[in-house]
Structure 1
Amino acid sequence: MGSVVFREQVRRPEPSGLSRDRLARPLLDATGPGGVLLLAPAGSGKTTLLAQIAGTPGMPTAWYRARPEDRSEDALVRHVTEALAVVLPEALDATTADQLILATETGVPTPVRLIVDDVHELAGSPAEQALERFLEYRPRHLRLLLGSRRPLSLNTPRLIVSGELLVLDGDDLRFRSWEVEELFRSVYREPLSPEAAAALTRRTGGWAAGLQLFHLATMGKSSAERIRAATELGGRSRMVRAYLTRNVLAELDPERREFLLITSTLGRLTGPLCDALLDRTGSAAVLEELETLQFFTTSTDDGSTYRYHQVLQTHLEGLLIDELGTAASREIHARSARLLEDAGHPREAMRAYALGDDWASVARLLQVGGATAVGQDWVARSELPDDDPWLALARARRYFRSGSVAAAVEAYRHAESMLDDPDFQARCADERALAEIWSAHPQPFGRAATPVRRTAQAIRQATRRVPSTREGAGGALEDGTIELLAGRFVNARELFSPLAADPTGRPVGRLCARLGLVVTELVDGNWSEAEVPLEEIALSAELEELPWFARLARGLQAAVLLATRPEGWRLDGCASLAEDCRRDGDQWGSLLMAIFIGAARLRAGQDEEAADWLRRATVEAARLEARTPQAWASALAAVALARIRHAGAAEQLKEAEGLTRSAALTGAYRLLDHARQLAETGPSRSGRSVRLFTLGGFRLELDGKPVSWPSLRPRARSLLLLLAINHDRDVHRERLIDALWPDAPADAGTHRLQVAASTVRQCLAGLGFGDQVVQRNGDAYRLVLPGAWVDLAEFETRLQRARRSGSVTDWSAVLEIAAGELLPEVGAADWVLAERDRYRLAAADAAVQVAGLARDAQALRAAQRAVELDPFRDSSWLLLAELQEGQGDPTAAALTRREHARVCAELEVTPEVRPARDGSRVRA
């Protein structure tokens, strides 16, 4: 006899939590793999995500949560059949996996999802073997979603390669900082600033359970109390400790538990280090096993070194003191520190010495390691001893790395006065000179003593005035940064790309290059793809203990989200980041945040707000004697004011022109020309409205009236349409030539493109749009209608909003704007087909959502629209027939099913045949 089937095991839980589109999208994709495995530690949010998928309309979903008692094949089959009975018209009759496969081939006529949660309870049992067989041979329209804490015996590599299985692990499920911010604002109703959300993400590692426990522990508390709680949450929180003890450590035998407890003092885990600390062998195999079991243990270098999850690490450190006492804990940390020091890991050694209260050894390592071994959070804490010159030097370095330049300069002077040693004083003076380069009023630069100072001086000078040419005058970091400041973005990208990809380079150089590459992408209009790389840059900067770079990446990420997801509360978050910079004495961070926010508001069409932030940036840049960023901010402000025909637009433009000349910033002249054209002839957001339509046919409206087009040659018109569906984004020359002149030689194609672009530009200028609407940037072209409402951009905005909210109102708004297919007048031109299908299928998804959420006539119209948009989606036909029957029209339902059968017959192909395990041949 198998285990009892409790109804609670097959009851689908109610959806809750934050809906994360990046995770839900691949799980809801009907064309994706038929099997999905969520493989992550306890508390990672697997059940929450699966419950959200189960609650998504459009496909019936069965639910089964496994228990340890379900480890026989018979028990598994009975639970699966019971779960499927909830969503199928007739119950399935099966007692073995093979019988279940055969029963589902005939008894599951429509697409169905089956979710099996807590599959790790079946690991190593006949039930797991039966589940593997069922996954492999079930009918393809039965999608199987699995949630597990530990790897299964499935042949996952083969299933992944064959396209039959998608695996999402703990890193995929980890909350990103912007998701944490949205979670606390939209779900918990307890807003966090972007900086606080980033700190909480860092301390919890984005662990879903940790975030939930933080929320429960801080409900109703003040903002200051919640920030203190975030600091405590790392592992000393009572709730976190109880969760880890019951759900993580309780699974371990005493030997494994002791291994974790003692080796946590290392921080950096390798087999030899753990063996030496424990006076044993075999630690490498234990670490590998812990990672394989998803036991809060990760490796970023393919198994050479490991680290425990931040929350578990801190919990183990506290547990060590509780169980062994303070004296024993200090002794173990001292042994770990000596092993780490001997192995050549000074940062980890310093941390172990500090946790063992051996500050003399910390100071000694700082003296030996110099600038290569600083930056730890604990170095800047106020409770550190303040009578050691080396610790004072470490504190100064921390100020500098945090962007507090003035405080760093004073701290360097203080450290220099504490020790009458020429070498120490020279080191302090040299590092102080580097910090002073970035002060508000730097002294005239002489010949720099070190390459680092020479690079810093060259970049600082470029913030005052751009050198005319570089031609490899400095290194890639120096030249790339100066090219970026100068507005020569193609050159900057070429210099930054190899530097960003070089794993042997200095961390600061790699981070600068990666950040610079993101900026060049934003200049090209690729804002929607920037949030993920910025998150990765921020995390890398935190790992390398470079807090200013982390703050800068977080700030730019917040600005990108402000432009692409323009909820009102995001501006407050960005403003708080700028205020944090000012409070901490980070003048450069404050300046750059003002530029980021101004550019984001300009991107979103909020021109008055953009001008306010950009003018604030010009004031801050003037204080720093940074004329180059001042000129950029002033030129962007000129565009914003010209776009709304502001009374001060002419004066702003004049100021921007003067700053641009003074900074020798030729790269900004295109912006100035654009602002001048807007002020003279171009449409403005306040005076004239511009609307660009491409869904349902190309149309341009000016003040609500369609623009009458003069005759254009076919290729010139095609160029206009191709640029229109990529509005405000660069389209590379090669792509345009391949699309419009595929048979032309390279030189001829380039010439024809230039002629066509000139023709389109003149045409738009003649219609009153100015001569800067078709812009060229290196080898790329783009169409820019300042302040225009663009139907494709509006479609994307509404689609993102609907995916986050899931409301019928927002899904209906998506459907409203989908007036027809993309550019139907160009027929089956290759360059439009992929985008046309993407928008059509997205509209079909919206129609299915409305049909599942709405009532009566609205639901029926939406289902009919879904069938029209995507006649090859079975679920749309079935949903339409169900709605027709539910509204008392069985005749219409029968006609729908007949039409569906006809479509299926037209698409019918020879059934796939594959070998069974016994050697016979069976139909898929």
Structure 2
Amino acid sequence: MVFREKVRRPEPSGLSRDRLERPLLDEAGPSVGLLLAPAGSGKTTLLAQVAATQLRPTAWYRARPEDRTEDALVQHVTEALSVVLPNALPVSTTVDQLILATESGVAQSVQLIVDDVHELAGSPAETALERFLEFRPRHLRLLFGSRRPLALNTSRLQVSGDLLELDSDDLRFRSWEVEELFRSVYRQPLSPEAAAALTRRTGGWAAGLQLFHLATLGKSSTERIRAATELGGRSRLVRAYLTRNVLAGLAPERRRFLLITSALGRLTGPLCDELLEQTGSAAVLEELEALQFFTTSTDDGTTYRYHQVLQTHLKGLLIDELGAAASRELHSRSAQLLEKAGCPRDAMRAHALADDWASVARLLQQGNTAGHDWVARSGLPDDDPWLALARARRLFRSGSVEAAVRAYKDAEALLDDPEFQARCADERTQAEVWLPQPPAAPVRRDGQTVRRTGHAIRQATRRIPEPGVGTDDPLAAGTIALLAGRLDEARELLLPVAADSSARSAGRLWAAISVVVTDLARGNWSDAEVPLEEIALSAELEELPWLARLARGLQAAVLLATRPEDWRPDGCAALVDECTRDGDRWGSLLMATSIGAAQLRTRDDQAALDWLRRAAVEAAALDARAPRAWALTFGAVAMARLRHPGTAAQLTETEHLIRAAAVPGAHRLLDHARRLIEEPAKGVTSSRARLHTLGGFRLELDGQAVHWPPLRPRARALLLLLAIHPGRDLHRERLIDALWPDAPTEAGPHRLQVAASNVRQCLAAVGLGDQAVQRNGDAYRLVLPGTWNDLTEFETRLRQARKSRTLTDWSAVLDLYVGELLPEVGAAEWVLAERDRYRLAAAEAALQVADLATDVQALHAAHRAVELDALRDSSWLLLADLQEEQGDPTAAAATRREYARISAELEAPVSPRERPARDG
């Protein structure tokens, strides 16, 4: 028996994530895909989104426990494929019959999705599925969703390159995706910091995000942000989900293993064996990881950790099931084992959960442990010197320099011990370096200045030393080179530090951030968001909140430049406001500068200038002349593009500051600003230019058509392709595929560069400057500041019309559509999708005008709606109604006959589009 519900494709929902969908839809990619992740990871959601695309017919089958026989599997796969094939497959009872049936009955590229395959594990159905996988016709693509590894020969597929596997780490939501999810799908926006906190708390677990959304429905923005930072496994909905979907099917001994060992936090075979007083724990941990059971290892099986949400849930279950006293005892034993194993951080956490604060203070005193945020919230007396030192360290690691210096002084006064006081004084000196008026660098007994990394970098923020002078430390030297604008040198020095796993975490992560900044300075913004996400997560794990926040701020600036949305500037501002609120003046300076640079890149020059002025003020207050020189230099570029009357004075002031701070790299940018001022004298007349692509490509200057210099066909095609995506980055692979599809791999980029150069020269020759075609890493865009563009105007008018729904606004949209997009290129593949999009939008406008207008205008618009989209039912029906209303029944009858003829010619009924209701 086959239940149709098992082969019904679910409706797509949730956030569409291109980074996951693209490889699964790639025609040239592997023909078998496997999504292997725990419950609630978003496997079914992603599979439903892939199934909903129109790329190929997609059959769907959701496996259930009752389908564990070969016959049941074969029946369901047959039925699933028959739903999407022109002709149903013949009935089969064995997998071999099914394979033969698909060889003759599946004649085109078809995709079969089998979800919840883990339900078939260890059954005859799984064996039959493996045979089907091996001998099916090659054009039948397979996608599997499973909670645990399959007993299929996936290793052979991996070796042959015919298997794409996505695991829980691939499926987890990144912080920017969480922000987009709550804004675009749930319609409940979260600030960037709240999205980052929620991502951290849930580990990007899809079900956790959904449960958080359900738990906060109807709550205020403030309540949701607070909930995001406090979310844990004690949430009622999270507990219910984990109990029902994760823990319910476990054997009692496995459940006990998870419950007891959760007290350790850090899991190894020997530690678990000692805590449980048994053997074999290493094999259990390895099995849990292999089964994708919320258990991960980052060092090839030496140590393991449970997923954050599961860990929090288990800690709650410990108290519920063992009682508070037994839970404290278990955590105390765990702490002792962790101390013995040389894991002081994890031991401190366990002691804290055992309410053994004396042991916490002892561990702080014995080692140089940095402490944890819970120390500051512990409610312990303020007269404990070691906890006071931990608080000072936390403040410094959070970027609150002035508060940290005061806290170090308070801690130093609490204990009359020379060694403790020396430690406090030494760390306080390192913090004082970053005060607005830092003390002089420490001096050794022989009179030589101590060149510590922090002192060297801080000194360089005031004036850049000569190359090679001042420090032999590669981290300091690389940072100074970056401040000076010597990008090649900075990258060469910082890359080894960023890759050195033995280096101190703070230095390694700062080097990694600096390497990303060198990439941004070179114009490569498109690939920065992922490394910044990894840096932020690493910094959070290492309890370095200042570096985590800085990485998040840079990531927000990158997304502002590469994925501009109306709400992103507010998110960036919230991050800077957070810095200001916490007393993090250096974070505020660096974030304001990066946001200003991002706005400059998007050519929002006024917003860029506002941010860069804010950065310059902050830099002046911190006596950081080198960063201030960069902020003023970027600001000069914005002012030059704005034709700001104070540009000349800004250039003079900035020139003096660049010389005083010895920032050689800023001279080139300042020269660029000067050239921008001089451009009008060179005949750059973009402010009087109008670019048309609807109805044909043409450029007008002062109302006169421009006669283009000769351009080779492919160069002209590149110009047209960039023109129909105004201001947007197009990756070079997309451009090469569109214009040079048959070019050898190594020849395509070169041909693109040559064509882009020819287009630049052509645009410069007609008075549009030599920077109209800009390169952003591996992407290109057309930038014509001040030029009126019909597509940009069309999009703006369309958004306004959909919002206002007035006749005036819809008429303005329709008037702009003077013809199809670039008719001169014919049926070139790269224009078809955009051409259809604008045509259908114009048809929508025509239909709305016909519905809102009266008499001749309405009739004319209805005719045009039918011409633009003959498959829209409502256009034909409205046209016939209008003809009848205006006294022409003959024309109305002819319209209905033509509509019936077109409908009959279609193989399937025309999908009705919503028809606006006419008044009266």
TM category (shorter chain) comes to 0.7 to 0.9
Aligned residues: 821
How large is the RMSD of aligned CA atoms in angstroms? Answer: 4.5
Distance 1:604 1:773, change over 3 A: closer
Q: How far off its partner does 1:566 sit? A: 1.1
Deviation, structure 1 residue 344: 1.4
Given the superposition, is the C-alpha separation of residues 222 and 771 from structure 1 closer, same or farther in structure 2, using an over 3 Å criterion? closer
Alignment deviations for residues 862-886 of structure 1 (CA, whole Å, 9 cap, x no partner): 9xxxxxxxxxxxxxxxxxxxx9997
Structure 1 residues 552, 23: CA separation in 2 closer, same or farther (over 3 Å shift)? same
Q: Within the alignment, does 1:81 sit opposite 2:78 as a pair?
A: yes
> Which residue of structure 2 aligns with residue 403 of structure 1?
399
Tell me what 2:895 maps to: none
Matches within 5 A, 1:407-486: 407-447=403-443, 454-470=452-468, 473-486=471-484
Distance 1:713 1:150 in 2: 56
Tell me if 1:389 matches 2:385.
yes
Residue 266 of structure 2 aligns to which amino acid in structure 1? Answer: R
Contact 1:645 1:684 in 2 (8 A): no
Amino acid across the alignment from 1:41: P
Q: Structure 2 counterpart of 1:235, which letter? A: G
CA shift digits 1:342-393 (9 cap, x unpaired):
21111111111111111111111111211xx214231232524433100110
Structure 2 residue runs without a partner (length 5+)? 741-749, 800-809, 811-816, 848-864, 873-898, 909-920
Q: Does 1:47 align with 2:16?
A: no
Post-superposition shift, 1:157?
2.0
Shift of 1:112: 2.0
Q: Closer, same or farther in 2 for the Cα pair 1:186/1:703, shift >3 Å?
A: farther
Distance apart, 1:46 and its partner CA = 0.7
Partner of 1:63 in structure 2? 60
Q: How many angstroms does 1:842 deviate by?
A: 8.5
2:894 is matched with none
Within the candidate set 542, 545, 548, 1:547 is matched to: 545
1:818–1:126 Cα change, 3 Å: farther
Alignment of 1:22-37 (within 5 A): 22-37=19-34
1:506 — aligned with what? 504
Kindly provide the amino acid, as one letter, of the partner of residue 687 in structure 2. Answer: R
Partner Cα distance (1:575, 1:788) in 2: 27
Aligned residue number for residue 129 of structure 2: 131
CA distance, structure 2, for counterparts of residue 884 and residue 548 of structure 1: 67
In structure 2, distance between residues paired with 1:234 and 1:405: 30
Q: 358, 376, 393: which one pairs with 2:372?
A: 376
Relative distance call for 1:129 and 1:704 in structure 2 (3 A) is farther
TM-score normalised by L of structure 2 = 0.80
In the TM superposition, residue 134 of structure 1 has moved relative to its aligned partner by: 1.4
For residues 833 and 412 of structure 2, the distance between their equivalents in structure 1, rounded to whole angstroms, comes to 64
Question: Cα–Cα, structure 1 residues 142 and 672, in superposed 2: closer, same or farther, change >3 Å?
Answer: same
Cα pair 2:636 2:673 within 8 Å, conserved: yes
Q: What letter matches 1:537 in structure 2?
A: I
Identify the residue that residue 602 of structure 1 maps to in structure 2. 600
Question: Quick one: structure 1 residues 54 and 447, their matched pair in 2 at CA, closer, same or farther if it must change by over 3 Å?
Answer: same
- SS of 1:234's equivalent in the other structure is coil
Q: In the aligned structure 1, how far is the partner of 2:665 from the partner of 2:229?
A: 45
Equivalent-residue separation in structure 2 for 1:846 and 1:774 (angstroms): 25
Measure the CA separation in 2 of the matches of 1:537 and 1:687: 41
Indicate how the Cα distance of structure 1 residues 268 and 705 shifts in structure 2: closer, same or farther if over 3 A, else same: farther
Of 8, 14, 23, 1:11 maps to 8
Q: Which residue of 2 aligns with 1:327?
A: 325
Matches within 5 A, 1:716-755: none
Distance 1:696 1:476 in 2: 59
Q: Is the 8 A contact 1:674 1:772 kept in 2?
A: no
Within 5 Å, give how 1:768-783 maps onto structure 2: none
Q: Distance in 1 between matches of 2:283 and 2:832?
A: 48
Displacement after TM superposition at 1:665 (Å):
1.0
Please state whether the residue corresponding to 1:681 is helix, strand or coil.
Answer: helix
Distance 2:782 2:94 in 1: 63
Matched, 1:298 2:290: no
Q: Deviations over 1:503-523 (max 9, x none)?
A: 222212221121112111112
| Structure 1 residues 760 and 8: alpha-carbon distance in aligned structure 2, compared to 1, 3 A threshold | closer
Q: Distance in 2 between matches of 1:18 and 1:842?
A: 22
Measured in 2, the distance between the counterparts of 1:759 and 1:83 equals: 53
Checking the alignment, whether the CA contact within 8 Å between 1:524 and 1:730 is kept in structure 2 is no
Name the structure, 1 or 2, with higher relative contact order (CA <8 Å, separation 6+): 1
Alpha-carbon distance in 2 for matches of 1:672, 1:694: 35
Q: CA deviation at 1:37?
A: 0.9
Q: Deviations over 1:621-645 (max 9, x none)?
A: 1111111111111111111111121
For 2:610 and 2:560, locate their aligned partners in 1 and report how far apart those are by CA, in whole Å.
16
Name the CA shift for 1:335/1:706 in 2 (closer, same or farther; >3 Å): farther
Q: Which amino acid in the other structure matches residue 94 of structure 1?
A: S
Larger CA deviation: 481-490 vs 713-722: 713-722
User: 2:687–2:785: 8 Å Cα contact kept in structure 1?
Assistant: no
Q: Does structure 2 retain, via aligned residues, the 8 Å contact 1:643–1:786?
A: no
1:238 counterpart = 2:236: yes
Partner of 2:270: 272
How far, CA to CA, are the matches of 2:218 and 2:257 in structure 1?
A: 39
**Displacement of 1:671:** 1.0
Aligned twin of 2:629: 631
Q: Pairwise mapping of residues 173-212 of structure 1 onto structure 2 (< 5 A)? A: 173-212=171-210
Deviations 1:463-514 (Å, cap 9, x if unpaired)?
1111121279322211111111111111111112222222222212221121
Deviation of 1:251 (Å): 1.6
CA contact (8 A) 2:442 2:450 kept: no
CA contact (8 A) 2:685 2:767 kept: no
In percent, how many aligned pairs have the same letter?
A: 69
Cα distance in 1 between the residues matched to 2:203 and 2:152? 28
Distance in 2 of aligned mates of 1:679 and 1:446:
47
Change (3 A) 1:514 1:718: farther
> What is the identity, as a one-letter code, of the residue corresponding to 1:44?
S
Once the two structures are TM-superposed, the CA of residue 57 in structure 1 deviates from its matched residue by 2.4
Alignment partners' CA distance in 2, 1:600 and 1:630 = 17
- SS of residue matched to 1:151: coil
Q: Is the 8 A contact 1:403 1:588 kept in 2?
A: yes
Asked whether the equivalents of residues 525 and 729 of structure 1 are also in contact (C-alpha less than 8 Å), the reply is no
Corresponding letter in the other structure for 1:419: L
Q: In the alignment, is the contact (CA less than 8 A) between 2:821 and 2:835 conserved in 1?
A: no
Structure 2 distance, partners of 1:696, 1:307, is 61
**Aligned pair partner of 2:678 in 668, 680, 687:** 680
Deviation at 1:717, TM superposition (A): 12
The one of 576, 579, 597 aligned to 2:577: 579
Matched letter for residue 427 of structure 1? R
Q: Structure 1: give runs of 5+ residues left out of the alignment.
A: 740-749, 802-808, 825-835, 863-882, 893-924
Normalised TM-score (structure 1): 0.80
- The one-letter code of the counterpart of 2:26 is D
Q: C-alpha displacement at 1:19, in angstroms?
A: 0.9
Q: What is the Cα deviation at residue 267 of structure 1?
A: 1.0
Is this contact kept in 2: 1:607–1:644, CA < 8 A? yes
| SS of 1:206 mapped into structure 2 | coil
Once the two structures are TM-superposed, the CA of residue 769 in structure 1 deviates from its matched residue by 6.4
When residues 421 and 705 of structure 1 are mapped into structure 2, their CA distance, relative to the original with a 3 A threshold, is farther
Which residue does 1:341 correspond to in 2? 339
Q: What is the alpha-carbon distance in structure 2 between the residues aligned to residue 719 and residue 52 of structure 1?
A: 32
1-side partners of 2:461 and 2:643: how far apart? 30
| Residues 1:757 and 1:195: Cα distance change in structure 2 (over 3 Å) | closer
Cα gap change, 1:416 to 1:708, in 2 (>3 Å):
farther
Distance 2:821 2:377 in 1: 55
CA contact 2:195–2:228 (8 Å) conserved in 1: no
Q: Which amino acid aligns with 2:397?
A: R
| Alpha carbons 1:524, 1:729 under 8 Å: kept | no
Which residue does the alignment assign to 1:896?
none
The 3-state SS of whatever aligns with 1:678 is helix
C-alpha displacement of 1:788:
7.9
- Residues 143-162 of structure 1 correspond to what in structure 2 (within 5 A)? 143-162=141-160
Q: Given that residues 412 and 424 in structure 2 are in contact (C-alpha distance below 8 angstroms), is that contact kept between their aligned partners in structure 1?
A: yes
